[in-house]
Structure formats: C-alpha cells, structure tokens
A and B are shown apart, each in its own frame.
Chain A
Amino acid sequence: MTVGSDTQPAAAPSGFDSDNRQAASIRDSARDYVDRLRGGDMGSLPAILGLVFLFIVFSSLHDRFLTTYNMANLVIQAGSIIVLAMGIVFVLLLGEIDLSAGVAGGASATIIALMLIDYDWTWWAATLAGIATGAVIGLAIGSLVAFLGIPSFVVTLAFFLALQAIPLKLIGSGGSLRFNDTVLRGLSIKNVPLTAGWIAAVLIVLAFAALSLWRYRSLSARGLVHQPLGLVVIKIAVLAVVVLGVTALLSANRAPNPDLFEISGIPWVLPVVVALLLFWTFILGKTRFGRHLYAVGGNAEAARRAGISVTRIKIAAFIICSSMAAISGLLAASYTGKVSPGSGGGNELLYAVGAAVIGGTSLFGGRGRAIDAVIGGLVIATIPNGLGLLNQASYINFLVTGGVLLLAASVDAISRRRRSAAGV
C-alpha cells in the first residue's frame, strides 16, 4: 500500500518532505481513528453504540422486537424524524437552532391536506405547495435572524407559538383532516416492488464502489492525500452489507400471519430518505454552498472576510430547514393517516434535535453531516418503538427520550472541550 508516495509532483523539491500523503496501512488508519476519538472527534460512534445497546436491551426484553415486521415499522416511524433532523442539521451547522421546525411541518402538512381535500390538487402539486409553505416560513425566520440579528432561539420560539395557529384556524379545534391520497399515504403503507428494490440496492452499492475506487485512483495517481486501499475496500464492504442486508430483511415476507397474506418489500419512505440523504450529502460535501455553510458555522467572521455572504447562507439554512420540516410533516401525516391541529407540536422537534446531536452534529456549529440525522434518527425512533412493545406507561418514554437528548448534548459538549484541548 505504498502507491502514490513515490510520485511526488516535480514542482515540490524544496522541503515539505514530512508531509503525509496517506496513512500507510490500515493499522495506521486505525490508530489515527483512535487518536481522533481520544481527541474528542467522536463522529457517529456514540450513536452506533447507542443503537447496538438499545437493540440488545429491547430484543432481550421482548421477543417481537427483532421481527422483520417491527423492523419495517421502525424504518417507517424513523422516516419523519430523520427528515426533520436532516433539516435541523443545517441550522445546527451554523450554531443556530430552529425550535419551530416541528410546527412548521404540521402547518405545511395542513396545507397539503387542504389542497388534496378542498381543491382536489394532485399529490405532487399539493406536496410542492407544502414545501413552498415551509420555504416561506424559513425565509421569514432566516431574514429576522440574519437582518435584524435577533437570536434564532427567540425568533423560532415565537414562530413555534405563532405557527400552531395555522392548523388550528384551518382545521378547527378538535377536528382533523384525513390524509388518504394513494401516493402520499402509500409512502408509509405501501412497499417498493421486490425486483425494483433489489435493483436500486445493487446500483447504490456499485455506484458507491465505483466512485470510491475512482477517487482513490485519481488521488493516489497525483500524490494527494488519500486513504489506504484496504480502508476503501472495507468501507465499500460495510456499505454493501448494510444496504443489501436491509434490502434482504425488508424483502422477506413480514406479515404476522405469513400463511394468510404477504407483506414484503422496502417501504416507500426509505427511498425518500435515501434520496434526501444522497442529495444533501452531495450539497454539503461537494458544492461551494456546502463548503460555505461549514465555513460560516466554523468562523462567521473569517467567512465574511473571505467574501462569503453570511446573510445569504443563514437565510438559506433556515429555508432548507423549514422545507425539510414540511417533508417531515408530510411523512408524519402519511404515517398517521391524518393531520390534526396538534400535528408537529409535540415531541417531534426535540426528537429531531436529539437525533442530529446523537448522530454527531455539534450544537456549537461547524460540524455535522446528513448521515448523522439518519443514524441519530434510528436511535431516537428505537426508543418509543421498543418501549411501546413493552407496554410501558408513556411517562417512561418522556423520561428516556429526555435523558438520551441530555446525554447526547453532554457528549457533544465534552468532546468539543477535548477537541479544543487536543486541537483535532
């Protein structure tokens, strides 16, 4: 694994000798990783450990927890939390907060339902109207934060209260709107055809493998910093196991009475989440806009001096957050089959913030990825899912979820302190 280290560019004869172009072996990479962990750069590790822990606890306490039926349920329940958390990641990246995201989702879902019922709009037009509602809310919040300089905590607290008026006025207290559009409701209750699911899964694995290897080749050929080939292969293997494993699990017949009828295939929520994950991962990692988001979150003054419009970036982050909240509200409505005045006003927001933070996004800004929301969202969704199976009183659910959020925030704060001490 010494490819690349002997192909120094001719323009660099003077010094720069000790510059590392790659960790020489997998063992070195592993040591680097342990060093980073010690230095407080935990990434998604706490979330993955938490997920494993929760799975062990719940599966030992209840024999139905690990059934494919419940796993598919978990995926569907996690969908709206994950999408909301993905939106929250954008404002957390800037060191801001959006307390109104949950109710923004509820308000947007109300608009979607009204468009479907009262105006007979088709599903995609109604969805666009809902996302536009979210975007307008985000624009308002972002403008107040960026132009007037009101702390986002206060602005979004005000919006949290005010936005609850929208569904209450439009639906009326005590009422609810049915949400039974075949496509939108189908996101939660229908599944991808088996063949299509497998084809998509295999394509994702192949695309990831091709991209990783191409990237490895072009970096090492030019003598740039790259990971050892072994690590690249391991990453591809892990992704293949996860993607193909989940597909296999969800493709099995999971009906409680398998002899009477069949339920199989990936719930449509999952492709929606995966598409959003890929899209935002690309935006954050591979575009100037994404780079500028990180820069503003890391040091807004430095970003401003580099010619980045901090105002525009802030407004954009709030628009993205509220638009994602609209999609999350849609998924939540699709899961419950109705929209009521209280939609989005409950635990949704704290679940999502918890998910993002548990996944490894920092509350202090500058650190976070779209995948954090997915991993953290699974952890958060597992708690009510497992406790529900155990027939626990709902107060336990509140206690546990609050505790997990606090724990995640503590891990974030401690690792931030260690990071600044270790300078990673």
Chain B
Amino acid sequence: MVKPLLELRGVNKSFGVVHVLHDVDFAVYPGQVTALVGDNGAGKSTLVKIIAGIYGRDSGDYYFEGEKVEVHGPRDVSALGVEVVYQDLALCDNLDIVENMFLGREETSRFGLDEITMESRARETLASLSVRTVKSVRQSVASLSGGQRQTVAIAKAVLWNSKVVLLDEPTAALGVAQTRQVLDLVRRLADRGLGVVLISHNMGDVFEVADRITALYLGRVAADVPAKDVTHSQVVELITAGRSGDLGIAENPSTATV
C-alpha cells in the first residue's frame, strides 16, 4: 500500500469541557481524493483546523511523509506543503486575484513587490488548471462568482506546489455547472499526485471523486474505507448512526461520558 502523505494518529481535542475529537486517526494518500464526511458537529471542521495548524492538539501526533513533525501554526503547515481551502474561502474582497493568490507569501525584488513575477506565475497556474472563466487576473475578488472564487482559492494551493490540499465544502454554495468545474478541478489535483481531502455533505460529490471515505461520528472515526467498497446508504448510516453492518464503532459513543 502507498504510504500516506499526511497522517494524524490518536488526536484528542477538547474545548473546555466539550471533548470534540476522540483518538482520531486520519490519513491522506498521494494521488487520491479522501472524502471526510460526518454530520454537523461531528468534528470535521475542528479536525481540518488542527491539520491547518490553527488549533493545537491536546494529544496525538502529526506525521508528514512518514516523519513526525511539530506544527505550531498555519505558517508551519503551509511550509510543509499543506494548503487548506476554506468554506468561507478566506479571500480578501478588496484585493485582486493575483494579490490573493500570493497573500502572505508575496514575491519581492529590490524595488519592493515583484508584481511581474507574481502575475506571470498566477497566470501560468490558472492556465495549467484550464481555468477559462476568469475575465482578468487583475479583477478584484469581490466581482467573482462563487465558483470562480473557489477556483482562485484552489489555484492558490496549486501555485504553492502543495502536496496536500484540504477543501472544506467546496461545492456547498455552487450551482450545477460551477460544481462540475470544481469537481473536475479536484480530480485534476489528485491526478497530479497531490493528496486531496474533500470535506462534503453531498454524497453525490463524494462518490463521484473520492477514492477513500473517512466518516466521523461524534468526534470518532466511524470508518476509513475505499469508496468502491461501500454504498451510498452505508455511508449515510455511518454518518447518522456511527455504524453500518460490520462497519463502524462498536458501542454507541453518545452514551459514553463526554
């Protein structure tokens, strides 16, 4: 079996008295789309924020390319080559596409910001992803549609030669055609050899692009299975009840003490 690019082992996280994640193991493989599914409050967003370095871990280890690493913030994580594309997109409306793609990692020359290099590289990246819908790379992000914004956010991850890209509900607010574009883009990222994590509520999207499915139920991993081995309804059961047939958590964790 391929070695995981990124792996979390035995992660626990509490906010005050609320125990949000219980001994969570999570792995991302190169060239595969791993879907992270779970109901609201299952701990998906918390897990993503721990991977992104925004939250610390109470316990558990963070492995990258087989090595144990210490991460202390978003900068450490992006230095590893892990990029997160957030649900609310984390783009600055008042900046243009190029400025957003390079935000926090601007290229500079002796005379200040190197706009020429930045615009050229942004343009190459968008072209290599076959992005056709953007009018100009110098238009402000406020003028983009939801799908275009998602595209920009994903292109930003590609621009930085990321090895792992996490997409938080990338199609949640999109129409049919735009969802199509984004899913194509997700597949292309994995075909380039990146490890892609897709967090989604939409089972149609998940089964269309995912290679593996990791289901969270009340802060525990209910199952981590290849997508082709499970059916739509099995995944729904894993999400809603934590178990499905011989898959899932043995006892019902909701009765366990929190």
Contact = CB atoms under 8 A, between A and B. Distances in A.
A225 B99 CA distance: 13
Given A288-B113, A366-B92, A424-B143, 7 more contacts: A15-B127, A18-B132, A18-B135, A19-B136, A219-B116, A307-B74, A423-B144
Nearest to A364: B94
10 contacts: A12-B127, A16-B132, A291-B103, A295-B104, A299-B94, A302-B91, A307-B73, A366-B94, A423-B142, A424-B143
A156 B235 CA distance: 55
A258 interface: no
A366 B78 CA distance: 25
Contacts of B84: 305
A297 B94 contact: yes
Contact of B135 (A20, A291, A307): A20
Given A14-B128, A303-B104, A295 B120 contact: no
B143 A423 contact: yes
A325 B174 CA distance: 47
Interface in A139-169: none
Nearest to A283: B112
Interface of B: 52, 54, 73-75, 78, 84, 86, 88-95, 99, 103-106, 108, 111-113, 115-116, 119-120, 123-124, 126-128, 130-132, 134-138, 140, 142-144
7 tightest CB-CB pairs across the interface, nearest first?
A: A286-B112, A306-B104, A298-B92, A12-B127, A298-B94, A366-B94, A302-B90
Residue of A9, A285, A302 ringed by the most chain B CB atoms within 10 A = A302
B111 to A, nearest CB: 7
B109 to A, nearest CB: 10
Interface string A250-278: 00000000000000000000000000000
Contacts, number: 128
Interface residues of A, number: 44
Given A16-B123, A286-B111, A298 B137 contact: no
Nearest to A297: B94
Nearest to B75: A307
A189 interface: no
Interface in A18-71: 18-21
Interface string A289-305: 00110110111011111
Residue of B94, B128, B135, B137 ringed by the most chain A CB atoms within 10 A = B94
Contacts of A282: 112
Residue of A21, A291, A301, A303 ringed by the most chain B CB atoms within 10 A = A291
B124 A225 contact: no
Contacts of B106: 288, 291
A288 B113 CA distance: 7
Contacts of B144: 423
